[in-house]
Amino acid sequence: MLEYFFRRLLGAIPTIFIIILVSFFLIRLAPGGPFDFDKTLAPEIQANLDAKFHLDEPVYVQFGYYLKDILQGDFGPSFQYKNYTVTELIAQGFPVSVQLGLSAMALALLLGSAAGILAAYRQNSKFDYGVMTISMLGISVPNFVMAPILILIFAIVFSFLPAGGWNDGAFQNRILPIVTLALPQIAYIARISRGSMIEVLRSPFIRTAFSKGLPTFYILTRHALKPTLLPVISYMGPAIAGIITGSVVVEQIYGIPGLGRYFVQGALNRDYTLVMGVVVFYGVFIILLNLIVDLLYGWLDPQIRLQARKT
């Protein structure tokens, strides 16, 4: 298990490094960006810039300073919000996004697995067919289509819920955003767990369990559940990436002051440092989360946990 962990860690580090490297060069090369000096500047200003960004030194030294800054959490000043650094903005927006994201993930896992497993147990029934069709809807209909429709139904036609706004995290303000974020993931997880369960139920070891006269419920929960859920756990990595991507649109539509919305505003206003900072931040975040998911999977699979030797 330890060996597995270190191998994964070793794989993560170069990835993070590459993300930072790519972001470094993108900022330098962007037309109209902070390093686009098309007008000749007054010597004092140029000297200031040289000192601050070490422009007189070779590229790899500049990169070294850049790397050091990033590792210390300094992404530079924001372009649009002159009084704030990117780090401060991230610190403001991220907690909000995390709350929404975690809730959506939990909802998706619970509902998705339950639906998928039930559909598999009652394969080819009307319920199964319904689950497959609705999950197809969840996957096909984009969240930016679903959100306005949900708002239309629940906030405008039937005024159950507020149409938007964060309201300091009030419960009714969270419902629609969380549901919108969760829907595509519920669909994917339902499909994955259904497929997985069907395959597990066909396995020889399940037949052995039945042949021993064990009760069906026991077989489903103690023999079948774990192998069924392993692929779902593997999916957590892409699921997290999907929720983060979805948050961009969901926060925008519902007016939630999360990191996704800052990102969009930054993109529309050409706030290079903010956009860059968010990408690097989220990139590293996702890599670390994937590492955790990998570890979880490794712990659950006895062959990995106990470091399988060939028998």
Near another protein in 28-87, by CB under 8 A: 29-31, 33
Among 178, 190, 220, 253, binds another protein (CB under 8 A): 253
Q: If binding is defined by CB under 8 A, does position 161 make contact with another protein?
A: no
Task: Single out the segment in contact with another protein by CB under 8 A; choices: 60-68, 70-78, 95-103, 258-266.
Answer: 258-266
Q: If binding is defined by CB under 8 A, does position 142 make contact with another protein?
A: yes
Give the footprint of another protein on residues 216-235 (CB under 8 A). 216, 218, 222-223, 226-227
> What is the spatial distance between Cα 35 and Cα 45, in angstroms, rounded to a whole number?
13
- Number of residues that make up the chain: 311
Tokens coding 150: 């949900």
Contact 275, 283 (CB under 8 A): no
> What is the spatial distance between Cα 183 and Cα 186, in angstroms, rounded to a whole number?
5
Tokens coding 237: 């990595």
Q: If binding is defined by CB under 8 A, does position 153 make contact with another protein?
A: no
Amino acid at 103: S
Give the footprint of another protein on residues 262-291 (CB under 8 A). 263-264, 266-268, 270, 272, 275-276, 278-279, 282-283, 286-287, 290
Query: Residue 83 or residue 303: which is nearer to another protein going by CB?
Result: 303
Contact 295, 8 (CB under 8 A): yes
> What is the spatial distance between Cα 29 and Cα 90, in angstroms, rounded to a whole number?
24
Q: If binding is defined by CB under 8 A, does position 211 make contact with another protein?
A: yes
Place of tokens 């422009």: 55
Minimum Å gap between C-beta 60 and another protein is 22
Minimum Å gap between C-beta 245 and another protein is 4
